Amino acid sequence: MQLPFTLKPRSEPEADIAVVRFDSKEYADHHPTPNEIFLIIELADRTLREDRNEKAPLDARAGIPEYWVLDVNTRQLYVFREPRNEGYAQETVLDEQSQLAIIAFPEIAISVNQLFAERL
């Protein structure tokens, strides 16, 4: 389910997937804010350019620590880290044979190929 998260001053973008801090109130009175977000993931079929060149810099300026774009056409994962005002300082492109971990959960290894649907 796509639900918004809050960026200042008055923006509430909808990420495809957001990994957020657990809130016992289940965000009843607000949407997650950047300091409550571990990771934003966008799924790109026709939106790769927008996700990389428009959304990534906005999330970096907001201080979101990690932003991923899954390119479903090439089965690659774009990983953005080290947010700065001008955008993310680090961008890495991983193929489906790679592994990585979310910065907030370094003990959990994720295989990139597990992020994509099985080929039929």
pLDDT value, residue 79: 98
- The domain locations on the chain are 17-115
pLDDT in tens, 3-13: 445 555 555 55
* Spatial contact of 69 and 48, defined as CB atoms under 8 Å apart: yes
**What is the pLDDT, as a whole number, of residue 2?**
45
In this predicted structure, the answer to whether residue 85 has a pLDDT above a threshold of 50 is yes
How many secondary structure helices (H) and strands (E) does the chain include? 2, 7
Domain 17-115: CATH superfamily is tt1808, chain A (3.90.1570.10)
Give pLDDT tens digits for 48-84: 999 999 999 999 999 999 999 999 999 999 999 999 9
Structure tokens at 88: 């993310």
